[in-house]
Chain A
């Protein structure tokens, strides 16, 4: 498969009270054409900033310190704004958590979807309306023709998320970034939206970057996963490998701590990760996870572990990886 998006050693900092706080630290991520990649992390881990960086929608207080974001070989960070507009919302579509933040309550759904179409594909209004109908049908808003003139308040939360999805698909993107697309929805509606995303992916050959805090959502929809912690990617692997054999103590702890149907623990004894994620402005020395890690070693308090090869395929940022010493040279090259 061919490279679609590749993020290389991206570091982003936010200016907070006159100080630069690192929000992303040398993150790398690769998405092939038609691939589905999950980016998992807790709030504040930097996963949304990653999405905003790709679209160049970072707030003014943010600065890209280093790194490259290449979309089909083009460096997005170097692209003039006029060309960036064909990428943003065009070849790269985005869906956010709250559909109403992307919709205007006083315009009809048909108008808004048609507007999204015309923003990227020049055509007459009648034709755009027909295209809007086709898109709504594609996301299973039926009968699409009868709903074109309805307003957002006449739709349920799950339907609105479908409408926003239709808008994101309006420009026929090659990559869809979905930032917590189902977190505001009920579990039954979430299941429907995830199923729809999977269908669209296979039908349109769309690549998807799914950003979520919910590992289970990724388990069902993505072929690859990257786990973020405190602004870094700490583990990345094929979904199956990651869930079968999580290598980073954070990933392992997270997977163990989530209650599961059919596998209840003794009440009051869920294996919890102690403590909480550090503030980005006050990161611990060495490995950012070391204060919460059950397998912490002396080295972890001092040095930052490199990305090292996992036993099965994939990589993890941890000194426990057998290969972390031997791999250092290679990683050093990749990181610089």
Chain B
């Protein structure tokens, strides 16, 4: 059994803002709501949820790019949230992030070589005279020619820019990488390239990967385990194969049923879930999913289900796990 690299307990993030005509009302948005999660050394854990489910906020809290409101994050046994600023700066070397849109995350006025050199300087990764060589190695690592160092981001395509962003994230030699929708902004024909690079680098560099994605097919390809988020809470957590074959939470079942199938027959699987997500400023009582859930009962309207293990390694937060079955998952 592998140990956990990241241990999250009771993590919440509450955003408060004023609203109303006179800005006197204070509204609270619980973007992340009491999440417990362990990320095992060397695994790929996928965070899946619709927009607004809190997956990016959770990842940012884990990396302390945002300050959590409640809870703890332990990184390699160290309390990340209690770290001093100086200590945090040094610790940052070990965890890095790749963002969705590489055009937004690269400085357009900085040559690629400079972009890759910066983390080497900041974290004092290699001796100054070895930096140029390391930049070249990083570029080769992500399948770009060494000459790319002299060029600017705009001279590259979206897929190439994402490679540069990955190289930059890897420059400080992290052990933990968060990839936030790394292919969602890319053209369909280059997505597979980037997914392959991420997988290969993870294996080669023994990285622990937290993959944020909304595309369950991508997750099925990449992840060892999947955590499904709804309204800032983990509603299901399971090994990927188990989650795809026998999803237990009605929300997971609905998500899987909604994935468009590449192979006709053109007959659609019925949409199981109805209605839109409730307003995050006034989440429903009980289970947050109950207004959309076909299997909801009185209990679901009043009592919030806790995340419980239904099988070894398979946890679900639902009063009626497995009630809703996926009639057919296309195996094409």
Contact = CB atoms under 8 A, between A and B. Distances in A.
Contacts of B26: none
A215 B262 contact: yes
Contacts of A194: 260, 268
Nearest to B271: A191
Contacts of A43: 187
A229 B71 CA distance: 50
A267 B263 contact: no
Interface residues of B, number: 48
B261 A265 contact: no
Contacts of B157: 276-277
Interface stretch (B15-23, B87-95, B195-203): B195-203
A268 B195 CA distance: 7
Nearest to B270: A195
A240 B261 CA distance: 13
A57 interface: no
B84 interface: no
A213 B200 contact: no
Given A219-B261, A253-B189, A270-B192, A258 B271 contact: no
B76 interface: no
A269 B273 CA distance: 34
B276 A159 contact: yes
A251 to B, nearest CB: 11
A213 B330 CA distance: 21
Interface stretch (A103-111, A112-120, A126-134, A181-189): A181-189
Contacts of A60: none
A253 to B, nearest CB: 7
A219 B221 contact: no
Contacts of A195: 268, 271
Interface string B263-277: 110101001010011
Given A262-B244, A276-B190, A270 B195 contact: yes
Nearest to B197: A268
Contacts, number: 150
The secondary structure that dominates the B interface is helix
B126 interface: no
B195 A259 contact: yes
Given A194-B260, A221-B266, A264 B220 contact: yes
B159 interface: yes
B257 to A, nearest CB: 8
Interface in B187-214: 187-193, 195-196, 199-200, 203, 214
Interface residues of A, number: 51
A41 to B, nearest CB: 9
A259 B188 CA distance: 11
B7 to A, nearest CB: 25
Nearest to B292: A188
A262 B196 contact: no
A271 B192 contact: yes
A255 B188 CA distance: 10
B262 A272 contact: no
User: Taking each of A250, A265, A270, which has the highest tally of chain B beta carbons within 10 Å of its own beta carbon?
Assistant: A270
B160 interface: yes
A125 interface: no
B256 interface: yes
A240 B266 CA distance: 9
Contacts of A216: 259-262
B192 A258 contact: yes
B37 interface: no
Given A188-B255, A219-B261, A267 B222 contact: yes
B221 to A, nearest CB: 4
Contact of B277 (A156, A187, A263, A271): A156
Contacts of B51: 186
Given A156-B276, A194-B268, A272-B193, A261 B330 contact: yes
A273 interface: yes
B254 interface: yes
Contact of B192 (A42, A187, A272): A272
Contact of A191 (B199, B258, B330): B258
A265 B259 contact: no
Interface string B239-260: 0000010000000001111111
B296 interface: no
Interface in B161-207: 187-193, 195-196, 199-200, 203
Given A158-B276, A262-B331, A254 B264 contact: no
**Nearest 6 CB-CB pairings of A with B:** A268-B199, A272-B192, A216-B260, A257-B192, A259-B221, A191-B258
Given A216-B262, A264-B220, A273-B190, 16 more contacts: A187-B258, A188-B258, A188-B273, A192-B271, A213-B188, A214-B188, A220-B266, A220-B268, A223-B266, A258-B262, A260-B262, A261-B259, A262-B332, A268-B199, A271-B192, A276-B157
Interface of B: 50-51, 157-160, 187-193, 195-196, 199-200, 203, 214-218, 220-222, 244, 254-264, 266, 268, 271, 273, 276-277, 329-332
